[in-house]
Structure 1
Amino acid sequence: MPTVPTRPRPLPLLALAALLALSACGKPPEKADGAAAKPAPAASSLAVTVTPPQVLSWPMQLTANGAIAPWQEVIIGAEVGGLRIDSLKADVGDWVKRGDVLAQFDDATLLAEENRLVAALASAKATLEQATADAARATKVGQSGALSAQQLDQYRIAKLTAQANVASAEAQLQTARIKLRQSRIVAADDGFVSSRSALLGQVPSAGTELFRLVRQGHIEWRAELDSRQLAQAKPGLKAVLTLPDGQVVEGLVRLVSPTLNADTSRGIVYVRLPLESPARAGMYASGQVELTPSNAITVPDTAIVLRDGRSYVYLLQDDMKVRQQQVSLGRRRDGRVEITSPLDPQARIVTSGGAFLSDGMPVRMADDGKAAK
C-alpha cells in the first residue's frame, strides 16, 4: 500500500503573535513621519528655598500662665433702704465718670421729710429769737433788783434750750438732705460698668450691691511663677502675653508678690495692660516676662519639621541633596525660633517644603537652580 505524504501542520496563532512581538522589541517606536520617538524625561526634583541661621539678641523669658482681672473693682450699693428704684441710667459696658448718676430712687418721701425739717428749723429759730429777747430784757430789769436770781436763770436757760433746739433741727435737716443725696446712685470713680444687679422697681435694703465698676478701666495679667522665676522678676519689666484668640498684648510688670501661695508654691506677678488692648477681664492667657537680652541662633519657624514628637531641619549639601538634622528648640519670637543644639553657622537651612523631603533627597533651588549665596 503506498505511503501518503503528511502535510506540515500550521503554527498556532498564539505562537505567531509571540514571534511578531519579539521581532518588534528591538525597534524603537516610530512617529507618523517615520522618525524614532525620544524617551520620556525624568521627573524634576522639588524646588526649595534656603537661608543661613541668624544670630539675634533676644531677651531671656520667664514663661507663665495666669488670669486677666481688673486692677481694682468699685462696688456701688444702696446707702438707704426701703426706697424703690425709679430709673436706671447705666448698663454693663458703659464708661462713666466720677459723680455720674447710675440709678435714681423714688425720693418723694425724702423730699417731704426735708420740707418738714425745714419748717421745724424755722420754728426753732423763732423760739430762739424770742428766748434771746426775753433774756436780754430780763438782764436789764434784773440790774434794778426787780427780778430774782432764779428768774434770771430761767430766762438764760430758756435761751440755751432754744439754741440747742435750733442745732438739733439743723442736724436733722442735714441728715435728711444726706439721705436725699443718697437716693441718687453715683459712680465713685472713673471706669466702666462690669456688672449691674439693680433692677427697675426693686426695693433694695441698705448695703445691697447694685453696680460694680472696673476702676479707671485698668486690667492686669496675674502671671503665676514658681519661686525661682519669681526671684528674677522685678517691677518695670516688659511682658508679652498671648490671648485665647491669638492676639498678642504687651504690658509692664506693676508689682511682684512678696509671698507664695501655700497650696501651689507659686507667686503672682501683676502686669498692667494698656487701656486700648483687646484683653478682657476673665480671660486666661499665657505669655512671657522678658529679662536681660542674650544672643540666640535662630531660623524661620517654617524651617522646623515635626516628626514623631521630635524637631528637625533640612540642610542643603553641595551635591544638591538635603540632610536631615535633629534640633532642640528654645525661645520663639517674631516668626523665628531659637536653636539650642549645635548648628553650623554657615549651614543652608531649607525654609520651605520640608514636610515633603526625606534624608538624601535631591532638590533644586527655587531661583532656577542658581546656587545660594
Structure 2
Amino acid sequence: MILRSLASVAALLLGSAFLLFAGGMHGLLLPIRGEIEGFTAASLGLLGTGWALGYVAGCVATPRLVARVGHIRAFGAMCALAAITVLVSLLLVSPWVWTPMRGLSGFCFAGAAMIVESWLSERAGRQARGRIFGIYTMVNLAATTAGQFSLAFGDPSGFAFFVVAAIFYCLALLPTAVSATASPTALTSVSLDLPGLWRNSPIAVFSVLMVGMSNGAFGALSAVYAARLGLDLQQVALFASVPLLAGAVAQVPVGELSDRFDRRLVLIGVALIGLGADAVFITGAVSDPTTVLIVAAVFGAAVFSMYPTIVAHANDHAPEGSGLQVSGGLLFVFGIGSIIGPTAAGFAMNGIGPESLFWTTGAGHLALILFAIVRLRARAGVARADKTDFTPIPLPRSATPETSALARRGRRATA
C-alpha cells in the first residue's frame, strides 16, 4: 500500500525536492555574494524582510490565483518567475534590485509550495497520507540542506550558482507540467481572526511573533555572521545548514515532552537553551570552527522546535474544527515576525557588530520566556488526555496553510 501510494506521488516529491534545492541555494547564495560585494548588513537583512513579505503575500494570494487560472498554469508561472528573479539578481548586483526580487521570489516560492502540497494531498492515499507527509518533510529538509551546502563546492563570486538555481526552479515545474491527472481540489484558504487567536491563546500569538523575529533574523543573516567571524565557505554553509538538521531531529524528543508535560514549560525550557546559545555567541566565548558549529547545532535544536510546540499548544485550546484557522493565523503572525527580525538585526549589525544578530534573537527568546512565565500564573495547563497531537514541522519558515492542511489530513488518516 505505502509503495503504491509513494509511486503515485514520486514525481511530485521530485518536483518539491527541485524547488527546495533551488530555494536553499538561492537563499544562502545572496547573503554570501552580498558579503563579497561589500553590501551592508542592513541591506542584507532587508533581503530577509523582502522574502518574508513576499512569502506571506503568496500564502494569501495563491488560492485566488489558482481559482482563476488553474493549478498547472499558476505553478508554471510561479516557477518561471522564481527563475527570473535569480537571473535578474545575477545581471543587476545591487541591494536595491535584490530586495524586491527576493520579495517576488518569496511570493513565488510560497505559491509553488502550496500547489505541490495540494497536489500531494490529493494523490496520496488516505491510509498512507501520514507517512507520505513524513517523507515529504524529510525530502524537503534534505533538498534544502543540499542546496545550501552545494555552495561549498564552487565560487559564489561567479555566475554558476545563479544559473544552477534558476535551472532547478525550472526543473521543479516539469512533474506537474507533464502530469495527465486531473488538477486537485481548491487550495486551502484561511480566514484570519487575530483577535480570536489572541483570546484563544495569548502565549501562542506572542511566542510565535518572537520566534518569527528570531528565526527570520537568523535565516537571513547567519551566513553574514559566519563570514564575519572568519569561517571559510564550507564552514559558512555548515553554519547555515547544521541548525536546520538539528532542529528537525530535536522535534522528536521535544514533541514527546510537550505531549507529556505542560507545553508552556517545555517551550520555556527550549527557549532557555536557545538563550544560552545566544549568550555564547554574544560573548564570543567560542572561536574555533568545530565548537562554533556545535553551539550552532544546539541553537538550531532549540529555535526550530519552538514553532510546532506553539502550534500544538494553540490547538489544545482551540474549539474543535478550528485547527486549520489557528495554524493559518499563527503562520501569518510568524510571517510578521520574520519581516521585523531581519531588518532589526541587520541595522544592529551595522551599528554594533556581527554579534548583534544574537542580541536580536536573544531579545526575542528572553521576551518569550518572561511572557510564558506570566501566562503560567494566569491559566491552568491542559490535561494530557485533552491535548492534540504534536505535528513536526521541520521548516516553519517554509510552511504554508496547505502544509497544515496536509499534516492534519495525514494525522486523521493514521489515527
Could you say which TM-score interval applies, normalised by the shorter chain?
under 0.3
Bigger RCO (CA 8 Å, 6+ sep)? 2
More strand by share: 1
